[in-house]
Homo-oligomer: A and B are copies of this chain.
Amino acid sequence: MTSQINPPPRLLMGPGPVDADPRVLRAMAAPLVGQFDPFMTDTMTETMGLWREVWRTANEQTFLVDGTSRAGIEAALVSLLEPGDDVVVPSFGRFGQLLAEISERAGARVHLVEAEWGTVVDPDRVAEVVGQVRPRVVAVVHGDTSTTMAQPLEALGQIARDHDALLYVDATATLGGNVFETDAWGIDVATAGLQKCLGGPSGSAPVTLSERAAARIRSRRHVEAGIRADDDAGAAGRRIASNYLDLAQIMDYWGPRRLNHHTEATSMLYAARECARLIGAEGVGARAARHARHGAAMVAGLRGLGLETFGDDRFRMNNVVAVRIPDRLRADPGGGDAVRAALLEDFGIEIGTSFGPLHGQVWRVGVMGTGARRDAVLATLAGLEHVLRRAGAVVPAGGGVDAALAAYDTPADAVSAGLEGDR
């Protein structure tokens, strides 16, 4: 007979998913309650408040979509965009391409503003295209794990407002580990997933909507036949193409009317609540600073091993760094993967491969959630040193660990990237 699940011990230091906080995993083991139990509806309302703190927003419409981060992205785009709408997508990696792809499937006309992988998009170019196109939406990824770069967002918020467009941001890879200011940066809609800096498992997508965005979505509200009341005449706007990801209906479900939609994924709600609760207890700013500190130590350590980092230092996310696979290993097409496999097998440590033009060129190393801690950073560097050497690379003995320790000895105020703008 098949046994209980019994995963092998792992330290997940890739670009995500990473290890969930054990307290989040335990929260999911709490018993269920009914969908409209007062405890359930109170918990939903409480969870909205906890996430407002994480998002740094006063947005009433701050809730969860029941699916992975990708469900949150699609819910935002399909609810904002209707066939024929224009959307401008600044793109600097694989997940920018994904925003374009999802927008296309929603029937929108996509205007890409692309930057080379390893850089970010010049806001002036975005302003120019937005000025020409006058799109309904500007859709952008904050941190694109495919390249490890983070797009500065403040300028984009201004550009969107100047041209009466809504700014949508995919914050999956950055929220909870980098400064993220929904309101101060003028972001209208942002979505995330729990499996990166937020310390939870994939499967719940936190979302926040400005009043402007909520009004746009409400203009497309069509309550489904089975639960429609007499005063639920459909709004004038075109019905949203998805029922499951229809944010107008999901707002009604989370709002005071509690209109039945999906059956809330209660265990994932408990997980998302616990993630936000733990972030609030740590402090949103302190958590970004922690990610910056341990992320910087990892960068220093990888360089100390003689590895070359990929991409523009000025725009690197706190929580993930890409390093070029040494030439000697890259000569063999499977060379990079063999090193990753050895690290997993001999040390139980996972680091990431990469996508598209970077596939076979770089590894990606994540430092996020509970993994943003000293022993995880040092153990990863020590393990990597050994597997690199055994694979034939020339690596300085202790070079990674020593460099990381030196970085940890650097006063915290020298590691300021994570604090910038944190008020």
Q: Which of A1-21 contact B (CB under 8 A)?
A: 1-2, 4-10, 12, 14, 16-20
Report yes or no: A20 in contact with B2, Cβ–Cβ below 8 A: no
Q: How far is the CA of A60 from the CA of B288 in the complex (A)?
A: 44
A195: nearest residue on chain B (CB-CB)? Answer: B263
Say yes or no: A344 contacts B98, CB within 8 Å. Answer: no
Contact call B10/A31, Cβ cutoff below 8 A:
yes
Q: Which residue of B is nearest A34, CB measured?
A: B350
Cβ-neighbour of A31 out of B2, B4, B19, B70 (below 8 A): B19
B12, B25, B227, B263: the one contacting A355 at CB < 8 Å is B227
The dominant DSSP class at the A interface is loop
Nearest-neighbour CB distance to chain B for A65, whole angstroms, equals 9
CB within 8 Å of B: which A251-284 residues = 260-268, 270-271, 273-274, 277, 280-281
Q: Is A390 an interface residue (CB 8 A)?
A: no
Tell me if A148 is interfacial: C-beta within 8 Å of chain B.
no
**Chain B, residue nearest A107 (CB):** B241
Query: Is A328 engaged at the interface, CB distance under 8 Å to the other chain?
Result: no
Task: Tell whether A46 is near chain B: CB-to-CB under 8 Å.
Answer: yes
Judge whether A385 is part of the interface by a CB distance below 8 angstroms.
no
Smallest CB separation, A118 vs chain B (Å) = 16
Measured CB to CB, the closest approach of chain B to A349, in angstroms, equals: 10
Query: Is B2 touching A280 in the complex (CB atoms < 8 A)?
Result: yes
Residue among B6, B71, B202, B280 making CB contact with A244, cutoff 8 Å = B71
Q: How close is A352's CB to chain B, nearest CB, in angstroms?
A: 8
B30 and A12: CB pair below 8 A? Answer: no
Binding site for B on A (CB under 8 A): 1-2, 4-10, 12, 14, 16-20, 22-23, 25-35, 37, 39, 43, 46, 50, 66-71, 73-74, 78, 94-95, 97-98, 100-102, 105-107, 146, 193, 195, 201-203, 224-227, 239-245, 260-268, 270-271, 273-274, 277, 280-281, 344, 350, 355-356
Given contacts A105-B240, A267-B267, 6 further A-B contacts (CB under 8 A): A2-B46, A5-B30, A28-B28, A70-B243, A74-B244, A227-B355
